[in-house]
Amino acid sequence: MSASPLLLRNLFSANKILIKPYFANSVKAMEARHDLPITSLDYPKPISAPPPPISKDIELKRAIEASSKSSLFNLTRDDVLYEDEWLMAVDKPKGVYCEYILSSAPKIIVDSSNEFHLANRLDRDTSGVMLITKSHKVAAKLVKAFTEHKIRKSYIALSIGPSPNWSKITVKSGHGRSKHGAWRVYAALDVGRVLPGGSFVRDMETTFEVVSINGENPQPSESESTIVVQGEPELSCVGDDVVVVRAFPRSGRTHQIRLHCQYLGIPIRGDVKYHGMYEWRGRTSEGHELHAESLSLDHPVTGDPLVIQAPLPCWAAGDV
């Protein structure tokens, strides 16, 4: 049952930390006390819903189409956002796999080497800024910078759902694969607990800002709320408002923004894996509408501040 509008307003009042009731024991602690045999571990339960049945066929179709498109893709100089002797930033198109971007990079660089590496990765249908390094040493420095959260990332997403009762919100949760192999949101208290297959729940944090609702810019607000995920989401996904948000992921977990949008009740349009609208107002989506807008970092060699921005896609250009 979805929460009432009054309850949602109370939940997202300014500077309020939300704790949902959830109780969990550490698997390691239970093993130490011999409360559970190793064959019947009490695995943590995912918070977000699993992919809907329709997503399997749609995702397979998109993967086949992307493989065909990727095999024919070649970078051009028009795709380059920034380049120096150590690294290059390119604008990755939607529906192309990262590996094909990397393999075509040497074709547009005169002094190409054999040490090209992807410094960051984007999902198949996510467009935007992608960094390619030209040496092992620079690659290692950027990996360290990403791991230590020294690189600021911003994304733009277009969602369909109810109009948010917040203007800025931070979501803190766990992240991991369920027993069915799908990425899911887990409770924050479950971080560190073991999952089926031997992996662990890891922390995940994203800050969101509302850019527009149905093409209108919201009133500016200094208030900010925080959700610490501890139980089932209380937010309704019922609604057909067009909500454009800017996302700032602190961690870099797989499908992080997509999962947190699902949790907030505003799944990304076309993101069928995470309950986003596939058919909407007479058209079907070729993929989810998520764009890596910018990267802000200190140059791994010179130390100079560097801000790299990608042009906005057509679905976002009118709202941002």
Residues acting as catalytic residues: 123
What are the CA-CA distances from residue 179 to residues 46, 56, 114, 271 (Å)? Answer: 10, 17, 39, 21
Token pair for residue 17?
């930390």
Q: How far is CA 205 from the centre of its chain?
A: 10
H/E stretch holding 76 reads none
Assign 180 to helix, strand or coil: coil
Residue among 166, 168, 171 nearest 227 (CA): 171
Strands 127-133 and 290-298: parallel
As a whole number of angstroms, the distance between CA 230 and CA 250 comes to 19
CB 217 within 8 Å of CB 183: no
- Convert 231-265 to b/e letters by CB count within 10 Å (16 or more is b): eebebebeeeebbbbbbbbeeebebbbbbbbbbbb
CB 243 within 8 Å of CB 58: no
Assign 103 to helix, strand or coil: helix
H/E stretch holding 314 reads helix 314-317
**End-to-end C-alpha distance for the chain, whole angstroms:** 34
